[in-house]
Each structure stands twice: as C-alpha cells, then as structure tokens.
Structure 1
Amino acid sequence: MSFPKIDVHTHYLSPAYREALKKAGHFPGTDGLPFTADWTAEEHLAFMEKNNVAKVILSCSSPGTHLIPGDDEFGRKVTREMNEFAAELKRKYPAKFGFFASLPLPDIASSLLEIDYALDHLDADGFVFLSNYHGMYLGDPQLAPVYAKLQERRATVFVHPTTPCIARACNHTDPTPKRMLDSAPLVDAYMIPMIEYLFDSTRTFVDLLLTGTAAAHPDVTFVVPHCGAALPSVLDRVFTFSMLDMSAHGFRKVHTITAPVIKEMFAKQFYFDLAGSSMASQIHHILQWVKSDRLVYGSDVPWTPYVGAEKNLELIKAELLKLFGEEEIRNICEGNAARLLAKK
C-alpha cells in the first residue's frame, strides 16, 4: 500500500527473551506452535523500508514475560529486560521504533512499579496486556489497582491474545509453581492462533465490558487486536444476557450494557487493529460498531512472516479501496495511530 503506515501490532524478541522461553519450557515453540519466530531490528527495518511503514510500536507477544506461574522474581526479571531492550531500540531509532511495555502480571505490586518506571524512565508508548495471565482475565477485580494507576497515567493498553486457561488448573494464586499450564480443551488439536486467540481476545473484552472495568476508567485507551476478533459477532447476545441478574445463582453481577452505550465507548476509548486475515469478513463486522477513525494498521510480524505480512497488505489495500475514500484510508494507515500515540 502506497500510503505511509504506523504499525501498532508488531513484535520483537531479544536474545535474553529467547533464553527465558527455553527456561520456562516454551521452546521450540510458544502457544503450541512448532517454532519460535526469528527477529532482528535490521530485518524489521528492511520490512518497513520495503513496505512504506514509517514507524512501528513493538510489543512482546504471547506468552508474555511472566513465564512461570508462581515465580514472580523471574517474571520481574524478564519483564524489565524486555522493556529495557525495547527502550534502547527506541532511543537508537526514535523515528522508527516505539514500544508498548510489558508488565509482570499477575504480580500486582511489581506491575504498579513497572508502570511508572516504563513511562517515566523508558518513555514507553503504553502497555501490552495478554488476554489472560495464568487464568486471570482482564476484568478480574484483583486488577483494580493496576487500572487505577493506568487511569491516573491516561495510558494506552494494547491487548494481545494468549492460550485460554482453565483458572482452577492454572490459578495465579496457586502457591505451587507449575512450569506448564493446563489449557482449555481442543487447544492441542489445532494451531492455537487460528481460532483460540480470537476466542480468548473476545472472552477478555467481554469481561472488561460486563464488569464495567473499561467504563470505570475512561482515560484508559484499549487497542483490540485482529479487527475485534469475534467480539462484534457476539455483542448482541452479550447485551441480552447483561440484562439478567444471575448473581443469586453464583454468577458474577454484571453491568447492563446496550448497543448505543458500547458504540459511544468504542468511539472514545477503543481502537481496532487490522492484523491477521481480517479483510474478507471481519472488517465488515467491526464497521457495524465503529467508524474508520477507530481502525489502525497492524502487521503482526515476525509471528506473521514478513512475506505473509506483505500479502496481507495487498488484501488490506484491496478491501479498503472498496470501503473508503483516500483520506479515510490514509488515516487508517497512519493518522489514526498518530492520534492514538499523541494521547500519551
């Protein structure tokens, strides 16, 4: 695509992180994949040059930086190393690289310290959250201090999916560290990123909406991956069930939400990236809920190989040309993300 682009969904791996993955049992591949992506800054810059990507906002992909449940010390170490590595890249290439800092969740106290450190000392552009942290999903009430801090700092949170987790089997409060997590049924039958990533993103954003977490922190901006995942397709059903108070039967008390309320919230507080194979159908679903000013470009490299990201760019170009005029496409490629980044 000829327009300059800002890529908000793209990843990096440091040499130390690859070693941490090995120590935690996530090798040769993460999330059930048979490989771990190769990455260098030079290769990334070459991809950017070839495809007119003006700037990228790097983030650590799944399984994140708290790699061994119960081992908070290792989680803090890996998190700080990855954030320092990304900050150095930003210092070296300030016009090319920004980054969303990782947090050592579900370690709440350390995460509060890392928020301030990343913003005040590393010049982070926001934070990357996983869709769940060892079974802690993003509407969990234990995260209240983290959201309060993010609200205070008017932070941006980019959410990336990870393997869905059975909470009772891999609960973050379990005092016995486990090196491998028990995950949901069928995740070993197919490649986890194919459908489970989309389902887990949807699960955690429904949790954010039904718990009222997103609404209670209006100065926190969320970036939803993969064109909204399955969220646009389930919202009508969520609205219906949100009107039922089933707390007397053991279910969590939920906030009633409606289509007008969600559309207003999305228009002020949410962006949706176009990473992945989202053009044939997903973009048409999300456009029922947002306008083009909430869409941003994402490549998902290097987990989407560079050649695959180039093919996705052609698909994005073809579909956007059917849907929008030149000014809207230019904003989807660059202007909307520039506004998002300026928020900090």
Structure 2
Amino acid sequence: MSSHKIDIHSHYLTPAYVEALKKSGHVPGPDGLPFTPDWTPEDHLAFMKKNNVSKSILSCTGPGTHLIPGDDAFARQVTREVNEFAADLKRRFPTKFGFFASLPLPDIDGALLEIDYALDQLDADGFVLMSNFHGMYLGDARLAPVYAKLQARKATVFVHPTTPCNAQACTHSDLTPQRKRDNIPLSDTYFIGIMEYFFDSTRTFVDLLLSGTAAAHPDITFIVPHCGNSLPSVLDRALLITSPEKRNFQIQSGAMHTLTAPVVKEMFAKQFYFDLAGSPMPNLIHHMLRWIKSDRLLYGSDVPFNSWTAAETQAQIMESELPKLFGEQEIQNIYHGNAERLFASRET
C-alpha cells in the first residue's frame, strides 16, 4: 500500500442509537436500509490495522439523530448520547479516532446548544449534517442561526445523505415505509442507496450554492461525500439555467445567488473537500476533476455501512487507479496530507 490513510468518512453505531432507531420505526435498518450493520470499536480498529488506516473520523449516518418528527426532547437525548460515546472513544484512542458531532436538527435551539457543548466539552473535530432534516434542506433560511454559529467557530461540516423528503410528507409518525412511498419513486423496487443518496446529496449542495449559504459563510469548511455525487453534471445545468445573461425566461422560485463556473471553482478550492467513499473510480472522479484539484480530495471508506470486505476491495481499486491520475506526492496527500492540513487549519 502506498501510504497510511486518514479515513474521513466512517461511521459508528452505539447500542442506545440502535434501540432509538427501532423505537422510531427504522427497521430492519436505518434510513430505509435492509439491514443494520454490526459495529464495535474493536472491529473498526481491526479494519484500520488491516488496511493501513491510521485514523478514522467517525460520524453518525442517516437518518441522523432527530428520529421522530416533532419530538425535540428525544432528538436531544439521542444526539447527546452518540456524541458522548464518540468523545469517549476519542479520549481512549486519541491517535486512532476523531469524530464529527451530530446535531438535533431541525431543532434549531437544540443544535445551537450542542455546537458549543461538542466543541468546548467534547473536543469534536466538526459536525455531521444530513442532506435534509425532515425536509429541511441545507440552504433553508431557518438554519441561519446555526450557520452563524458554525461560521463564528470556523467549523468543519461533513454532509451525509439521507432519505429524500419534503416537509409535508415528513410530519407523519409512520416514518420509514410511508415516507419512502410518499417521496421516492421506485423505492419499492430498488434499494435507495443505488440512486437516492447521490441525488439527495446533490440536491442539498446545489441548494447551499444557489441560496448563497455557502458563500455567505466562508469560514465553514464543507466535506462533500462520495466524490461529489451527481454534482458535476447538475452544476453544468444549474449554471446555465440560472445565469441571468443566458436565460430567456423568468425563474419563479425567487432570487438566487449569482454563480459562474470560475466562482464555483474558487469556492471549491477554498471551502470544500470531497471524499472518495463509495465508487468514485474509475469513472466519477474524472468528472469531479473538472472542478477541483487533488488537494481537495480525501480518503473515505464508509464502513460499516459499506461492509468491511467491500471497503477493502474499494481500497484496492483506489490503489490501482490513483497512480493513473496523480503523482506519488498527490496520492500521499489524498490519503492523509490533505486531511492533516484541513484539521490543522481548523486549530489556527
């Protein structure tokens, strides 16, 4: 193997979180998945040793920690439990584990409290946001107080996909089966991870860009999962349609932040990173490299939702494909150097 790795995209499940998922209807697995993976710190450390991963930055995956619409108290309880668990792992294995703290969004007040607690008391490395919170996407104006605090704290924000949702369909109590039928065509036919995670991540990042949210908070660093998802293709279309000088019709959705390809590329170069979890090679990475350089790429495994063996196979694919695109120093940076600089910059 070429280098040790810092795994920016890996997950954990606490026993209490698994029980909370069951209580809220996420069975047989979270977020409409057909399974709940087994996870222990020991299994994770074994995977790291076998695959030359020097450090894993853990995060809670979809559906996040606000599991029952309207039940903010339960969300705050679940959020604090998973954050305390991860913080304890970091204290016990400081060279092996870091973590992105969860927030109980769309509970704004609860999120504001948790941001300070996670950074000041738990030594979190940043925060994980879902692509939407019960239909609240990340460019939503109601999130302004949260972004103001994240901006003030110069926070790193890792975004993870979750089930697509609109606000009307996300208020009922029959969470998983009914929500899928209400929101996702073909959800009864295909596993939502095949298409919908990519689509929802793309949707929320386009929202962040077109709403002006990302540009208005330049000290927040965003990590985009799965090598940009469908973002490269959608950006081409979004820039064309929203460009005032190129369109010949009135867009009715209201004012949008003015974007051009050079502006987006500059923003990506300063404020965004893109992880290589999932299946970015041999194809997707080429599209993303139209927008970024290798210094914005980070290694990710997505274990244990990507099985230990599948993650190992994908790491082997990466080993063979990266030298076709990059020199040795660039590869070293993708595996660990870029992440080291990212976290060093957050400490200054």
TM bin, normalised by shorter chain, reads over 0.9
Match of 1:167 in 2: 167
2:28 partner letter:
P
Match of 1:3 in 2: 3
Distance 2:39 2:25 in 1: 20
Match of 2:125 in 1: 125
Asked if the contact 1:246–1:252 (Cα under 8 Å) also holds between the matched residues in 2, the reply is no
Distance 2:18 2:183 in 1: 22
Distance 2:49 2:131 in 1: 31
Match of 1:324 in 2: 326
2:292 partner letter:
V
Deviation string, structure 1 residues 162-183 (Cα, Å, up to 9, x no partner):
011122222xxx5x75544343
Q: Secondary structure at the match of 2:185?
A: coil
Whether 1:283 and 2:285 are equivalent positions in the alignment is: yes
Alignment of 1:1-344 (within 5 A): 1-170=1-170, 179-180=175-176, 181=179, 182-244=182-244, 250-344=252-346
Asked if the contact 2:2–2:332 (Cα under 8 Å) also holds between the matched residues in 1, the reply is no
Asked if the contact 2:2–2:319 (Cα under 8 Å) also holds between the matched residues in 1, the reply is no
2:282 partner letter:
A
1:137 partner letter:
Y
Distance 2:238 2:290 in 1: 16
The range that moved more, 113-122 or 317-326, is 317-326
Asked if the contact 1:69–1:177 (Cα under 8 Å) also holds between the matched residues in 2, the reply is yes
Q: TM-score, normalised by structure 2?
A: 0.95
Distance 1:247 1:102 in 2: 41
The range that moved more, 205-214 or 277-286, is 277-286
Distance 1:206 1:335 in 2: 28
Asked if the contact 1:104–1:111 (Cα under 8 Å) also holds between the matched residues in 2, the reply is yes
> Between Structure 1 and Structure 2, how many residues are aligned?
340
Q: Secondary structure at the match of 2:101?
A: coil
Distance 2:251 2:56 in 1: 47
Q: TM-score, normalised by structure 1?
A: 0.96
2:25 partner letter:
G
1:21 partner letter:
L
Distance 1:188 1:31 in 2: 14
Distance 2:248 2:64 in 1: 34
Deviation string, structure 1 residues 282-335 (Cα, Å, up to 9, x no partner):
110110000000000000000001000000001111110101111000000000
Distance 1:126 1:156 in 2: 5
Distance 1:188 1:340 in 2: 40
Asked if the contact 1:129–1:158 (Cα under 8 Å) also holds between the matched residues in 2, the reply is yes
Kindly state the Cα deviation for residue 208 of structure 1 after the two structures are TM-superposed.
0.2
Q: Given the superposition, is the C-alpha separation of residues 232 and 138 from structure 1 closer, same or farther in structure 2, using an over 3 Å criterion? A: same
Asked if the contact 2:243–2:260 (Cα under 8 Å) also holds between the matched residues in 1, the reply is no
Asked if the contact 1:247–1:253 (Cα under 8 Å) also holds between the matched residues in 2, the reply is no
Q: Secondary structure at the match of 1:58?
A: strand
The range that moved more, 139-148 or 183-192, is 183-192
User: Once superposed, what is the RMSD of the aligned Cα atoms?
Assistant: 1.5
Kindly state the Cα deviation for residue 34 of structure 1 after the two structures are TM-superposed.
1.6
Deviation string, structure 1 residues 114-157 (Cα, Å, up to 9, x no partner):
00000000000000000000000000000000000000000000
Deviation string, structure 1 residues 61-82 (Cα, Å, up to 9, x no partner):
0111000111111000000000
2:284 partner letter:
Q
| Structure 2 unpaired stretches of 5+ | none
Q: Given the superposition, is the C-alpha separation of residues 248 and 72 from structure 1 closer, same or farther in structure 2, using an over 3 Å criterion? A: farther
How many percent identity over aligned positions?
68
